[in-house]
């Protein structure tokens, strides 16, 4: 029977979905956030992922889907959300999500979606090369090697099965890996002097085991793959990072600008929920208590900017409201109640500075 992974941070809903799908005969795994999902289910290779868009910490449902697809491109994703905006629909389509279920939904709707997922075929167009991932125990024994990892292992001696990290990397590299999980380590695979690998791992707090990613040297660009950073829980140490910043809501009329803001805000370490509508933003604030920063497009709000700021402050009194405007708009925006102004055109350091409120 198929294996299904449920990633949902609302305990009661997660437990309901688990019980229902188990009664339907599926093997069901569950997690409350992305990190737990990677730690406990990466080796299970689930056929279907059911993930909520809004999750705890800095990884949302689309991130989880992308990371699991990097290991298993055959995975089908069902995304559940209470906020089916055009942006989310477009991004879900780009990420290869099979179906988006809007809350509240009937369990029959979920059953139908799972049945479609198990019958669907993943299109070959647009697939990127999968990532080589290992799941190892605390002593370095390899419990799971992804298909791409087995391909790389087979280049060493024709054998795709290696039982211990030391057998592939050598004892010195394994020791170095254990001393630092924040850097990529260059390695010559054991017994294969013509090969060069870049290796990086992350310790699992639960059992002391390892999640390890291997990139052959000719695939060095893969070390900057966002999916790899998500798997390793690395929010890019080379970029400025907002320490422990909560999610951000962006209200912006221009779709291209919204997408740019999402990518840059997530690059500097915060989740971003975009919309072009005040009502939807208020709903997001009600659903996500961690939001403390809201960006508003000056042109979109227009003369209603004071009312928009008041509505946001009523919904979230401690929110920092930032106005986005062109040259010369700063004085007007500040007079209308925003705390700070992000001036167009902006650079990432401008974004970082204005979000440090």
pLDDT in tens, 207-224: 888 899 999 988 888 888
Last residue of a domain, one of 119, 143, 162: 119
Residue showing tokens 């369990």: 107
pLDDT, averaged across the chain: 87
Asked if residue 282 belongs to a domain, the reply is yes
Asked if residue 239 belongs to a domain, the reply is no
The conformation of residue 56, written as its DSSP 8-state character, comes to: S
Q: Report how far residue 357's alpha carbon sits from residue 350's, in angstroms, rounded to the nearest whole number.
A: 12
Domain shared by 175 and 113, yes or no: no
Q: Could you tell me how many residues make up the chain?
A: 357
Strands 48-52 and 3-7: parallel
| Under 8 Å between Cβ of 65 and 34 | no
- Residue 205 has a pLDDT of 76
The answer, yes or no, to whether residue 236 has pLDDT greater than 50, is no
Q: What average pLDDT score do residues 346-353 get?
A: 86
Domain shared by 279 and 189, yes or no: no
Q: Write down the pTM of the prediction.
A: 0.80
Q: What average pLDDT score do residues 134-147 get?
A: 91
Asked if residue 333 belongs to a domain, the reply is yes
Residue in 263, 272, 283 with CA at minimum distance from that of residue 322: 272
Asked if residue 127 belongs to a domain, the reply is no
> What is the tally of structural domains in the chain?
3
The answer, yes or no, to whether residue 240 has pLDDT greater than 60, is no
- Residue 131 has a pLDDT of 93
* Sequence-separated (6 or more) residues with CB below 8 Å from residue 160: 145, 150, 151, 153, 154
DSSP tally for the chain: helices H, then strands E: 15, 15
The CATH number of residue 73's host domain is 3.40.50.2300
- Residue 126 has a pLDDT of 54
Tokens of 258: 């919204």
Domain span at 318: 248-354
Last residue of a domain, one of 89, 119, 149: 119
The answer, yes or no, to whether residue 235 has pLDDT greater than 70, is no
Domain shared by 210 and 314, yes or no: no
What is the sign, positive or negative, of the torsion defined by CA atoms of 324, 327, 330, 331? negative
Domain shared by 107 and 147, yes or no: no
Q: Report how far residue 282's alpha carbon sits from residue 107's, in angstroms, rounded to the nearest whole number.
A: 28
């Amino acid at each position: 029977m198929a294996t299904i992974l449920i990633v949902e941070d609302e305990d009661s809903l997660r437990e309901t979905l688990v019980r229902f799908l188990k009664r339907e005969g599926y093997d069901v795994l569950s997690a409350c956030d992305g990190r737990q999902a990677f730690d406990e289910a990466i080796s299970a290779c689930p056929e279907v992922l059911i993930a909520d868009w809004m999750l705890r910490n800095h990884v949302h449902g689309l991130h989880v889907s992308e990371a699991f697809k990097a290991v298993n491109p055959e995975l089908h994703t069902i995304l559940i959300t209470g906020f089916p905006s055009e942006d989310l629909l477009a991004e879900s389509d780009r990420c290869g999500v099979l179906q988006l279920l809007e809350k509240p939904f009937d369990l029959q709707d979920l059953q139908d979606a799972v049945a479609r997922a198990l019958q669907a075929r993943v299109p070959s167009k647009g697939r990127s090369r999968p990532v080589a991932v290992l799941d190892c125990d605390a002593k370095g024994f390899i419990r799971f090697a992804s298909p791409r990892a087995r391909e790389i292992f087979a280049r060493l001696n024709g054998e795709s099965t290696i039982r211990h990290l030391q057998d592939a990397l050598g004892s010195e590299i394994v020791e170095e890996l254990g001393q630092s999980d924040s850097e990529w380590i260059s390695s010559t695979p054991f017994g294969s002097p013509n090969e060069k690998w870049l290796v990086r791992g992350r310790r699992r707090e639960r059992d002391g085991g390892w999640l390890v990613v291997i990139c052959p040297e000719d695939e060095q660009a893969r070390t900057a793959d966002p999916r790899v950073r998500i798997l390793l829980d690395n929010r890019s140490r080379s970029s400025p990072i907002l320490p422990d910043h909560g999610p951000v809501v962006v209200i912006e009329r221009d779709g291209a600008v919204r997408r740019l803001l999402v990518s840059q805000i997530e690059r500097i370490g915060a989740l971003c929920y975009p919309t072009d509508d005040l009502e939807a933003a208020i709903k997001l604030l009600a659903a996500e208590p961690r939001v403390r920063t809201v960006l508003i497009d000056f042109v979109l709000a227009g003369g209603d900017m004071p009312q928009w700021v008041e509505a946001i402050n009523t919904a979230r009194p401690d929110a920092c409201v930032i106005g986005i405007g062109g040259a010369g708009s700063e004085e007007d925006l500040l007079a209308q109640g925003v705390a700070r102004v992000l001036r167009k055109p902006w650079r990432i350091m401008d974004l970082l500075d204005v979000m440090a409120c």
